[in-house]
Chains A and B, each alone.
Chain A
Amino acid sequence: MYAFDIERPASVADAVAALGAEDAQALGGGQTLIPTLKQRLAAPSRLVSLSGVTEMQGVASEAGNIRIGGATTHATVASQVGGTYPALADLAANIGDPAVRNRGTIGGSLANNDPAACYPAAALGSGATIITNKRQIAADDYFQGMFTTALEEGEIITAVSFPVPEKANYQKFVQPASRFALVGVFVAKYSDGVRVAVTGASNEGVHRWSAAEDALSAIFAADAIAGLSVAADDLISDLHGSADYRAHLVKVMTGRAVKAAS
Protein backbone atom coordinates (compact mmCIF):
# COMPACT_ATOMS: atom_id res chain seq x y z
CA MET A 1 0.00 0.00 0.00
CA TYR A 2 1.10 3.54 -0.67
CA ALA A 3 1.02 5.76 2.42
CA PHE A 4 -2.08 7.76 3.38
CA ASP A 5 -3.65 9.36 6.42
CA ILE A 6 -6.94 8.24 7.94
CA GLU A 7 -9.50 10.68 9.29
CA ARG A 8 -12.32 9.49 11.52
CA PRO A 9 -15.09 12.12 11.43
CA ALA A 10 -18.17 11.79 13.64
CA SER A 11 -20.73 13.50 11.37
CA VAL A 12 -21.73 13.50 7.71
CA ALA A 13 -20.84 17.20 7.49
CA ASP A 14 -17.31 16.56 8.76
CA ALA A 15 -16.91 13.54 6.49
CA VAL A 16 -17.95 15.55 3.43
CA ALA A 17 -15.59 18.37 4.41
CA ALA A 18 -12.70 15.89 4.83
CA LEU A 19 -13.49 14.36 1.44
CA GLY A 20 -13.04 17.77 -0.12
CA ALA A 21 -9.25 17.38 0.14
CA GLU A 22 -7.39 16.37 -3.00
CA ASP A 23 -7.19 12.58 -3.52
CA ALA A 24 -9.36 11.83 -0.48
CA GLN A 25 -11.52 8.71 -0.57
CA ALA A 26 -14.27 7.30 1.64
CA LEU A 27 -13.55 4.17 3.69
CA GLY A 28 -16.56 2.01 4.55
CA GLY A 29 -15.82 -1.43 5.95
CA GLY A 30 -12.69 -1.70 3.82
CA GLN A 31 -13.58 -5.21 2.63
CA THR A 32 -13.13 -4.15 -0.99
CA LEU A 33 -11.01 -1.03 -0.62
CA ILE A 34 -8.24 -2.54 1.55
CA PRO A 35 -7.53 -5.40 -0.90
CA THR A 36 -7.55 -2.78 -3.69
CA LEU A 37 -5.07 -0.59 -1.81
CA LYS A 38 -2.83 -3.59 -1.19
CA GLN A 39 -2.66 -4.17 -4.92
CA ARG A 40 -1.84 -0.49 -5.39
CA LEU A 41 -4.83 -0.12 -7.66
CA ALA A 42 -5.81 2.99 -5.71
CA ALA A 43 -3.56 5.67 -4.26
CA PRO A 44 -5.60 8.05 -2.11
CA SER A 45 -3.65 10.51 0.02
CA ARG A 46 -6.33 10.43 2.69
CA LEU A 47 -9.03 7.97 3.70
CA VAL A 48 -12.12 9.27 5.42
CA SER A 49 -13.52 6.51 7.61
CA LEU A 50 -17.31 6.47 7.84
CA SER A 51 -17.47 3.89 10.64
CA GLY A 52 -17.66 6.54 13.36
CA VAL A 53 -20.49 8.51 11.74
CA THR A 54 -23.38 7.47 13.99
CA GLU A 55 -26.06 9.15 11.87
CA MET A 56 -25.14 6.70 9.06
CA GLN A 57 -25.65 3.61 11.25
CA GLY A 58 -28.67 1.44 11.80
CA VAL A 59 -32.08 0.57 10.49
CA ALA A 60 -35.44 2.36 10.77
CA SER A 61 -38.91 1.54 9.40
CA GLU A 62 -41.03 4.38 8.12
CA ALA A 63 -44.41 4.18 6.30
CA GLY A 64 -43.94 1.10 4.13
CA ASN A 65 -40.21 1.71 3.71
CA ILE A 66 -37.14 0.53 5.48
CA ARG A 67 -34.26 2.95 5.74
CA ILE A 68 -30.75 1.62 6.25
CA GLY A 69 -27.86 3.93 7.15
CA GLY A 70 -25.05 3.93 4.58
CA ALA A 71 -22.45 2.72 7.09
CA THR A 72 -24.60 -0.15 8.40
CA THR A 73 -22.84 -3.50 8.24
CA HIS A 74 -24.20 -6.55 6.46
CA ALA A 75 -24.35 -8.32 9.87
CA THR A 76 -26.62 -5.61 11.28
CA VAL A 77 -28.95 -5.77 8.28
CA ALA A 78 -29.02 -9.57 8.57
CA SER A 79 -29.97 -9.44 12.25
CA GLN A 80 -32.32 -6.42 12.29
CA VAL A 81 -34.27 -6.36 9.03
CA GLY A 82 -35.71 -9.91 9.11
CA GLY A 83 -39.03 -8.91 10.64
CA THR A 84 -39.75 -6.21 8.05
CA TYR A 85 -38.04 -7.30 4.86
CA PRO A 86 -36.93 -10.95 5.18
CA ALA A 87 -35.55 -11.25 1.62
CA LEU A 88 -33.19 -8.35 2.27
CA ALA A 89 -32.05 -9.79 5.61
CA ASP A 90 -31.40 -13.15 3.92
CA LEU A 91 -29.39 -11.50 1.19
CA ALA A 92 -27.22 -9.71 3.74
CA ALA A 93 -26.81 -12.92 5.76
CA ASN A 94 -25.32 -14.66 2.72
CA ILE A 95 -22.77 -12.07 1.65
CA GLY A 96 -19.22 -13.43 1.92
CA ASP A 97 -18.53 -14.87 5.37
CA PRO A 98 -19.19 -13.74 8.98
CA ALA A 99 -16.00 -11.67 9.26
CA VAL A 100 -16.74 -9.83 5.99
CA ARG A 101 -20.31 -9.20 7.15
CA ASN A 102 -19.09 -7.72 10.44
CA ARG A 103 -17.16 -5.00 8.57
CA GLY A 104 -18.63 -4.58 5.07
CA THR A 105 -21.35 -1.95 4.64
CA ILE A 106 -24.33 -1.39 2.37
CA GLY A 107 -23.01 2.02 1.28
CA GLY A 108 -19.64 0.53 0.35
CA SER A 109 -21.26 -2.25 -1.63
CA LEU A 110 -23.54 0.09 -3.58
CA ALA A 111 -20.76 2.64 -4.19
CA ASN A 112 -18.47 -0.07 -5.49
CA ASN A 113 -21.16 -1.66 -7.73
CA ASP A 114 -19.21 -4.85 -8.34
CA PRO A 115 -20.94 -6.70 -11.21
CA ALA A 116 -21.23 -9.80 -8.98
CA ALA A 117 -22.30 -8.08 -5.75
CA CYS A 118 -25.56 -8.85 -3.98
CA TYR A 119 -26.86 -5.49 -2.70
CA PRO A 120 -27.10 -3.89 -6.15
CA ALA A 121 -29.65 -6.60 -7.05
CA ALA A 122 -31.71 -5.80 -3.94
CA ALA A 123 -31.59 -2.05 -4.52
CA LEU A 124 -32.52 -2.29 -8.21
CA GLY A 125 -35.00 -5.12 -7.62
CA SER A 126 -36.78 -3.11 -4.92
CA GLY A 127 -36.68 0.22 -6.74
CA ALA A 128 -34.82 1.60 -3.74
CA THR A 129 -33.75 5.23 -3.30
CA ILE A 130 -30.06 5.92 -2.73
CA ILE A 131 -29.77 8.86 -0.35
CA THR A 132 -26.54 10.86 -0.43
CA ASN A 133 -25.28 13.94 1.33
CA LYS A 134 -26.57 15.94 -1.68
CA ARG A 135 -29.65 14.29 -3.15
CA GLN A 136 -31.86 11.25 -3.59
CA ILE A 137 -31.21 8.97 -6.54
CA ALA A 138 -33.66 6.34 -7.84
CA ALA A 139 -31.98 2.93 -8.23
CA ASP A 140 -32.98 2.95 -11.92
CA ASP A 141 -30.77 6.01 -12.45
CA TYR A 142 -28.05 5.05 -9.98
CA PHE A 143 -26.42 1.94 -11.54
CA GLN A 144 -24.54 2.87 -14.69
CA GLY A 145 -22.56 -0.23 -15.65
CA MET A 146 -20.02 -2.33 -13.77
CA PHE A 147 -18.15 -0.38 -11.07
CA THR A 148 -19.91 2.77 -12.30
CA THR A 149 -22.63 4.71 -10.48
CA ALA A 150 -24.27 8.13 -10.48
CA LEU A 151 -22.17 9.18 -7.45
CA GLU A 152 -20.03 12.25 -7.98
CA GLU A 153 -16.57 12.87 -6.57
CA GLY A 154 -16.74 13.17 -2.78
CA GLU A 155 -20.46 12.26 -2.64
CA ILE A 156 -21.34 9.69 0.01
CA ILE A 157 -24.28 7.35 0.47
CA THR A 158 -25.77 8.29 3.80
CA ALA A 159 -28.75 5.92 3.62
CA VAL A 160 -30.75 3.64 1.36
CA SER A 161 -34.55 3.51 1.49
CA PHE A 162 -36.26 0.30 0.34
CA PRO A 163 -40.03 0.15 -0.29
CA VAL A 164 -41.11 -3.07 1.43
CA PRO A 165 -42.70 -5.45 -1.13
CA GLU A 166 -45.59 -7.89 -0.66
CA LYS A 167 -43.18 -10.75 -1.38
CA ALA A 168 -39.59 -11.03 -2.43
CA ASN A 169 -36.66 -13.40 -2.63
CA TYR A 170 -33.01 -13.41 -3.66
CA GLN A 171 -31.46 -16.50 -5.20
CA LYS A 172 -27.69 -16.55 -5.37
CA PHE A 173 -25.73 -19.14 -7.29
CA VAL A 174 -22.50 -18.88 -5.35
CA GLN A 175 -19.15 -18.75 -7.09
CA PRO A 176 -17.46 -20.82 -4.41
CA ALA A 177 -13.97 -19.32 -4.58
CA SER A 178 -14.98 -15.67 -4.25
CA ARG A 179 -18.31 -16.27 -2.48
CA PHE A 180 -19.82 -13.55 -4.69
CA ALA A 181 -22.71 -14.39 -7.03
CA LEU A 182 -21.94 -16.28 -10.22
CA VAL A 183 -25.51 -15.26 -10.95
CA GLY A 184 -27.95 -13.75 -8.47
CA VAL A 185 -31.58 -12.81 -9.08
CA PHE A 186 -33.72 -10.61 -6.86
CA VAL A 187 -37.48 -10.78 -7.43
CA ALA A 188 -39.85 -8.41 -5.62
CA LYS A 189 -43.63 -8.26 -5.99
CA TYR A 190 -45.31 -4.91 -5.31
CA SER A 191 -49.00 -4.03 -5.64
CA ASP A 192 -48.20 -2.21 -8.91
CA GLY A 193 -46.00 -4.88 -10.47
CA VAL A 194 -43.02 -7.17 -10.17
CA ARG A 195 -39.36 -6.18 -10.42
CA VAL A 196 -36.58 -8.61 -11.36
CA ALA A 197 -32.93 -7.59 -10.99
CA VAL A 198 -30.00 -9.72 -12.12
CA THR A 199 -26.44 -9.54 -10.81
CA GLY A 200 -23.29 -11.49 -11.67
CA ALA A 201 -24.36 -12.15 -15.24
CA SER A 202 -23.80 -9.09 -17.36
CA ASN A 203 -20.88 -7.05 -18.65
CA GLU A 204 -23.17 -4.09 -17.99
CA GLY A 205 -23.42 -4.94 -14.27
CA VAL A 206 -26.72 -5.24 -12.43
CA HIS A 207 -29.78 -4.89 -14.69
CA ARG A 208 -33.49 -5.58 -14.83
CA TRP A 209 -35.01 -8.44 -16.81
CA SER A 210 -38.06 -6.66 -18.20
CA ALA A 211 -39.58 -9.60 -20.10
CA ALA A 212 -39.73 -11.57 -16.85
CA GLU A 213 -41.15 -8.54 -15.01
CA ASP A 214 -44.02 -8.32 -17.51
CA ALA A 215 -44.75 -12.04 -17.36
CA LEU A 216 -44.62 -12.15 -13.57
CA SER A 217 -46.68 -9.00 -13.17
CA ALA A 218 -49.44 -10.78 -15.12
CA ILE A 219 -49.13 -14.10 -13.26
CA PHE A 220 -46.81 -14.42 -10.27
CA ALA A 221 -45.77 -18.05 -10.73
CA ALA A 222 -42.54 -19.75 -11.82
CA ASP A 223 -44.37 -21.17 -14.88
CA ALA A 224 -45.05 -17.66 -16.13
CA ILE A 225 -41.45 -17.35 -17.37
CA ALA A 226 -41.31 -20.86 -18.87
CA GLY A 227 -41.52 -19.55 -22.44
CA LEU A 228 -38.87 -16.83 -22.00
CA SER A 229 -35.22 -17.07 -22.81
CA VAL A 230 -32.26 -14.87 -21.95
CA ALA A 231 -29.89 -13.72 -24.69
CA ALA A 232 -26.26 -14.58 -23.93
CA ASP A 233 -24.85 -11.72 -26.07
CA ASP A 234 -23.82 -9.27 -23.37
CA LEU A 235 -23.25 -11.75 -20.59
CA ILE A 236 -20.00 -12.43 -18.78
CA SER A 237 -17.97 -15.40 -19.96
CA ASP A 238 -15.07 -16.48 -17.76
CA LEU A 239 -13.45 -19.61 -16.35
CA HIS A 240 -16.29 -19.96 -13.86
CA GLY A 241 -19.04 -20.08 -16.47
CA SER A 242 -19.76 -19.30 -20.12
CA ALA A 243 -22.24 -16.65 -21.22
CA ASP A 244 -24.67 -19.40 -22.25
CA TYR A 245 -24.40 -21.02 -18.85
CA ARG A 246 -25.07 -17.70 -17.13
CA ALA A 247 -28.05 -17.05 -19.43
CA HIS A 248 -29.47 -20.40 -18.38
CA LEU A 249 -28.84 -19.67 -14.72
CA VAL A 250 -30.65 -16.32 -14.89
CA LYS A 251 -33.86 -18.08 -15.81
CA VAL A 252 -33.41 -20.93 -13.33
CA MET A 253 -32.62 -18.55 -10.47
CA THR A 254 -35.57 -16.32 -11.37
CA GLY A 255 -37.90 -19.32 -11.22
CA ARG A 256 -36.50 -20.37 -7.87
CA ALA A 257 -36.85 -16.85 -6.48
CA VAL A 258 -40.51 -16.72 -7.51
CA LYS A 259 -41.18 -20.09 -5.87
CA ALA A 260 -39.40 -19.09 -2.67
CA ALA A 261 -40.79 -15.54 -2.45
CA SER A 262 -42.34 -14.70 0.92
Chain B
Amino acid sequence: MTKVTMTVNGKSVSGDVEGRTLLSSFLREDLRLTGTHIGCDTSQCGACVVHVNGEAIKACTMFAVEADGTEVGTIEGQANADGSLNVIQQAFQDHHGLQCGFCTPGMVMTAAALLKDNPKPSETEIREYLEGNICRCTGYHNIVKAIMAASGQDVSAIAAE
Protein backbone atom coordinates (compact mmCIF):
# COMPACT_ATOMS: atom_id res chain seq x y z
CA MET B 1 0.00 0.00 0.00
CA THR B 2 1.11 3.53 -0.78
CA LYS B 3 -0.14 6.62 0.97
CA VAL B 4 -1.50 9.28 -1.37
CA THR B 5 -2.55 12.83 -0.57
CA MET B 6 -4.40 15.08 -2.95
CA THR B 7 -6.79 18.00 -2.94
CA VAL B 8 -10.24 16.93 -4.08
CA ASN B 9 -12.76 19.72 -4.72
CA GLY B 10 -10.66 22.03 -2.55
CA LYS B 11 -10.31 19.67 0.44
CA SER B 12 -7.12 17.83 1.27
CA VAL B 13 -7.67 14.07 1.43
CA SER B 14 -5.40 11.09 1.86
CA GLY B 15 -5.66 7.35 1.79
CA ASP B 16 -3.72 4.12 1.36
CA VAL B 17 -3.96 2.62 -2.10
CA GLU B 18 -2.53 -0.30 -4.04
CA GLY B 19 -0.49 0.32 -7.19
CA ARG B 20 -3.40 -0.92 -9.29
CA THR B 21 -6.02 1.30 -7.59
CA LEU B 22 -7.54 3.53 -10.24
CA LEU B 23 -8.26 7.17 -9.50
CA SER B 24 -11.93 6.34 -10.23
CA SER B 25 -11.93 3.61 -7.54
CA PHE B 26 -10.22 5.90 -5.04
CA LEU B 27 -12.81 8.63 -5.64
CA ARG B 28 -15.82 6.33 -5.63
CA GLU B 29 -14.94 3.65 -3.12
CA ASP B 30 -12.58 5.36 -0.66
CA LEU B 31 -13.93 8.92 -0.78
CA ARG B 32 -17.52 7.83 -1.58
CA LEU B 33 -17.71 10.45 -4.32
CA THR B 34 -19.89 8.36 -6.60
CA GLY B 35 -20.78 11.19 -8.98
CA THR B 36 -17.84 10.11 -11.15
CA HIS B 37 -19.50 7.34 -13.16
CA ILE B 38 -17.98 4.22 -14.67
CA GLY B 39 -19.67 3.56 -17.99
CA CYS B 40 -17.19 1.29 -19.72
CA ASP B 41 -14.01 1.01 -17.64
CA THR B 42 -12.19 0.60 -20.98
CA SER B 43 -11.30 4.28 -21.65
CA GLN B 44 -13.98 4.74 -24.30
CA CYS B 45 -17.04 6.49 -22.85
CA GLY B 46 -15.87 9.51 -20.83
CA ALA B 47 -18.46 9.10 -18.04
CA CYS B 48 -15.53 9.12 -15.58
CA VAL B 49 -13.93 12.40 -16.72
CA VAL B 50 -12.56 14.48 -13.84
CA HIS B 51 -10.01 17.31 -13.72
CA VAL B 52 -6.46 16.72 -12.57
CA ASN B 53 -4.57 19.98 -12.18
CA GLY B 54 -7.28 21.56 -14.31
CA GLU B 55 -7.08 19.09 -17.21
CA ALA B 56 -9.81 16.67 -18.24
CA ILE B 57 -8.70 13.05 -17.82
CA LYS B 58 -10.45 9.69 -17.65
CA ALA B 59 -10.37 8.66 -13.99
CA CYS B 60 -10.72 4.99 -15.01
CA THR B 61 -7.44 5.30 -16.93
CA MET B 62 -5.15 6.85 -14.34
CA PHE B 63 -3.74 5.28 -11.20
CA ALA B 64 -4.50 6.96 -7.87
CA VAL B 65 -0.76 6.91 -7.11
CA GLU B 66 -0.19 9.13 -10.16
CA ALA B 67 -2.63 11.69 -8.76
CA ASP B 68 -0.63 12.04 -5.54
CA GLY B 69 0.00 15.74 -4.87
CA THR B 70 -2.44 16.96 -7.52
CA GLU B 71 -5.63 19.02 -7.42
CA VAL B 72 -8.59 16.91 -8.47
CA GLY B 73 -11.98 18.29 -9.42
CA THR B 74 -15.09 16.12 -9.67
CA ILE B 75 -18.74 16.74 -10.42
CA GLU B 76 -19.41 17.05 -6.68
CA GLY B 77 -17.34 20.24 -6.67
CA GLN B 78 -19.13 21.90 -9.57
CA ALA B 79 -22.15 23.49 -7.89
CA ASN B 80 -21.97 27.10 -6.70
CA ALA B 81 -21.00 27.76 -3.08
CA ASP B 82 -24.68 28.16 -2.08
CA GLY B 83 -25.50 24.72 -3.54
CA SER B 84 -27.24 26.03 -6.65
CA LEU B 85 -26.29 24.58 -10.03
CA ASN B 86 -23.38 26.25 -11.79
CA VAL B 87 -23.85 27.81 -15.17
CA ILE B 88 -23.05 24.63 -17.13
CA GLN B 89 -25.21 22.39 -14.96
CA GLN B 90 -28.10 24.86 -15.14
CA ALA B 91 -27.78 24.99 -18.93
CA PHE B 92 -27.94 21.17 -19.10
CA GLN B 93 -31.17 21.33 -17.14
CA ASP B 94 -32.64 24.21 -19.15
CA HIS B 95 -31.84 22.63 -22.53
CA HIS B 96 -32.63 19.02 -21.64
CA GLY B 97 -28.99 18.07 -22.05
CA LEU B 98 -29.62 14.86 -20.14
CA GLN B 99 -32.10 12.04 -20.01
CA CYS B 100 -30.92 9.13 -17.86
CA GLY B 101 -28.03 11.29 -16.61
CA PHE B 102 -25.42 8.57 -16.62
CA CYS B 103 -23.05 10.37 -18.98
CA THR B 104 -23.76 13.79 -17.47
CA PRO B 105 -20.95 14.06 -14.90
CA GLY B 106 -18.38 13.38 -17.62
CA MET B 107 -20.15 15.70 -20.04
CA VAL B 108 -20.21 18.57 -17.51
CA MET B 109 -16.55 18.07 -16.54
CA THR B 110 -15.49 17.91 -20.19
CA ALA B 111 -17.56 21.00 -20.99
CA ALA B 112 -15.97 22.87 -18.08
CA ALA B 113 -12.48 22.00 -19.39
CA LEU B 114 -13.44 23.18 -22.87
CA LEU B 115 -14.90 26.49 -21.71
CA LYS B 116 -11.85 27.22 -19.56
CA ASP B 117 -9.60 27.05 -22.66
CA ASN B 118 -12.11 28.29 -25.20
CA PRO B 119 -14.84 30.48 -23.64
CA LYS B 120 -16.83 30.85 -26.88
CA PRO B 121 -16.47 27.59 -28.81
CA SER B 122 -18.21 27.03 -32.14
CA GLU B 123 -20.66 24.16 -32.55
CA THR B 124 -17.98 22.18 -34.41
CA GLU B 125 -15.42 22.80 -31.68
CA ILE B 126 -17.89 21.58 -29.06
CA ARG B 127 -18.68 18.42 -31.02
CA GLU B 128 -14.98 17.70 -31.54
CA TYR B 129 -14.19 18.25 -27.88
CA LEU B 130 -16.92 15.80 -26.89
CA GLU B 131 -15.43 13.09 -29.11
CA GLY B 132 -14.55 10.97 -26.08
CA ASN B 133 -17.90 11.36 -24.27
CA ILE B 134 -20.59 8.91 -25.26
CA CYS B 135 -24.29 9.48 -24.55
CA ARG B 136 -26.78 6.72 -25.28
CA CYS B 137 -29.85 8.89 -24.72
CA THR B 138 -29.85 12.44 -25.97
CA GLY B 139 -28.43 12.23 -29.48
CA TYR B 140 -26.02 15.00 -28.40
CA HIS B 141 -27.86 17.99 -29.90
CA ASN B 142 -29.19 19.19 -26.56
CA ILE B 143 -25.82 18.69 -24.91
CA VAL B 144 -24.21 20.86 -27.59
CA LYS B 145 -26.99 23.40 -27.10
CA ALA B 146 -26.46 23.44 -23.34
CA ILE B 147 -22.73 24.09 -23.76
CA MET B 148 -23.42 26.85 -26.30
CA ALA B 149 -25.88 28.41 -23.85
CA ALA B 150 -23.49 28.07 -20.92
CA SER B 151 -20.92 30.03 -22.93
CA GLY B 152 -23.46 32.82 -23.44
CA GLN B 153 -24.05 32.09 -27.13
CA ASP B 154 -27.21 31.87 -29.20
CA VAL B 155 -28.46 28.30 -29.49
CA SER B 156 -31.27 28.79 -31.98
CA ALA B 157 -29.15 27.66 -34.95
CA ILE B 158 -28.43 24.21 -33.53
CA ALA B 159 -30.44 21.36 -34.97
CA ALA B 160 -33.44 20.64 -32.78
CA GLU B 161 -34.30 17.10 -33.78
Main secondary structure of the interface of B (DSSP, over half): mixed
- Residue among A1, A6, A31 with the most chain B CB within 10 A? A6
Closest to B113 in A: A98
Contact for A102 among B2, B22, B57, B65, CB less than 8 A:
B57
CB-CB contacts of A228-254 with B at 8 A, as 1s and 0s? 000000000000000000000000000
- Of A30, A38, A75, A96, the residue contacting B132 (CB under 8 A) is A96
Tell me the minimal C-beta distance from A8 to chain B in angstroms: 7
Q: Which residues from A are CB-within-8-Å of B145?
A: none
The answer on a CB contact under 8 Å between B46 and A99 is yes
Contact across chains for A100 and B65 when beta carbons are under 8 A apart: no
How many B residues touch the partner, as a band?
20 to 34
> With the chains together, A96 CA to B44 CA distance in Å?
9
Known: A6-B65, A6-B66, A49-B66. A37 touches B132 (CB 8 A): no
B43 touches A (CB below 8 Å): yes
The reply to whether the CB of A13 lies closer than 8 angstroms to some CB of chain B is no
Determine the chain A residues whose CB is within 8 A of the CB of B63 once the complex forms: 6, 27, 30, 34, 47, 49
- Contact partner of B110 (CB less than 8 A), chosen from A2, A75, A99, is A99
Q: 8 Å CB contacts to B: which residues of A130-160?
A: none
Contact, CB under 8 Å: B42 / A99: no
A97 to B109, CA, bound (A): 14
- Name A86-133 residues within 8 Å CB distance of B: 96-100, 102-103
Q: Which of A6, A97, A102 is within 8 Å of B55, CB to CB?
A: A102
A150 to B139 Cα, complex, angstroms: 45
**Which residues of chain A are near B132, meaning CB under 8 Å?**
96-100, 179
Taking CB atoms, residues of chain A closer than 8 Å to B56 are: 98-99, 102
- Do A38 and B42 contact each other (CB < 8 Å), given the known contacts A99-B49, A99-B110? yes
Give the docked Cα–Cα distance between A133 and B132 (Å): 34
Interface residues of A in 23-37 (CB under 8 A from B): 27, 30-31, 34-35, 37
Interface string of A1-15 (1 = CB under 8 A from B): 111111010000000
Q: Which of B2, B20, B42, B131 contacts A98 (CB 8 A)?
A: B131
Interface of A is mostly: mixed
Q: Is the CB of A1 within 8 A of B110?
A: no
Answer yes or no: A51 CB below 8 A from chain B CBs: yes
* Complex Cα–Cα for A49 and B42 (A): 20
Q: Collect the chain A residues with CB atoms within 8 Å of residue B113's CB.
A: 98
User: Can you list, as one digit per residue, whether each of B18-32 has a CB less than 8 Å from chain A (1) or not (0)?
Assistant: 111010000000000
B19→A98 contact, CB < 8 A: no
A176 to chain B, nearest CB (A): 9
Q: Is the CB of B2 within 8 A of A6?
A: yes
Closest Cβ–Cβ distance, residue B49 to chain A (whole Å): 6
> B58-98 CB contact bits vs A (8 Å, 1 = yes)?
10111101101000000000000000000000000000000
Check: B41 CB closer than 8 A to any chain A CB.
Answer: yes
The contact sample of 14 A-B pairs, CB cut-off 8 A, is A6-B2, A8-B66, A30-B66, A34-B60, A34-B61, A34-B62, A75-B55, A96-B132, A98-B132, A99-B49, A99-B61, A99-B132, A100-B58, A103-B58
Given contacts A35-B42, A98-B114, A99-B61, 17 further A-B contacts (CB under 8 A): A2-B20, A4-B20, A6-B63, A30-B66, A34-B60, A34-B62, A35-B43, A47-B19, A49-B65, A49-B66, A99-B56, A99-B57, A99-B58, A99-B132, A102-B57, A103-B57, A103-B62
